[in-house]
Amino acid sequence: MEHDVSNSLRTLPILRRFRVRVIEDGCYYDVFVTAHLVFNNNDRGEGLVFRRYYDDSVKTEKVAEFQPGTFTFYEEINQ
């Protein structure tokens, strides 16, 4: 019997930490997000989307989303 080990040997990308500067009611504050992926679709009017892989899957889940106009910048934080 053959056993496919490709999925069991797959390693996930490193979780990365990001800081997002949020603006709300004229006040600025920082939000910290830990995710594998970030999609900056602000130029298309979709904002920022942060996603994390499930433990043993190629599927991802959304962990945070910021709509256009609700943040001023984001950056990856080197630990």
More confident: 9 or 76: 76
CA-based end-to-end distance of the chain:
45
Work out the average pLDDT over 25-29: 94
The pLDDT of residue 1 is: 47
Quote the percentage of the chain above a pLDDT of 90: 54
Model pTM score: 0.76
Written as six digits, the tokens of 74 are 């984001």
Spatial CA neighbour of 64 closest among 25, 14, 28, 17 = 17
CA count, 13 A, side-chain hemisphere, 59:
4
* Range with top average pLDDT, 1-5, 8-12, 33-37, 39-43: 33-37
More confident: 17 or 44: 17
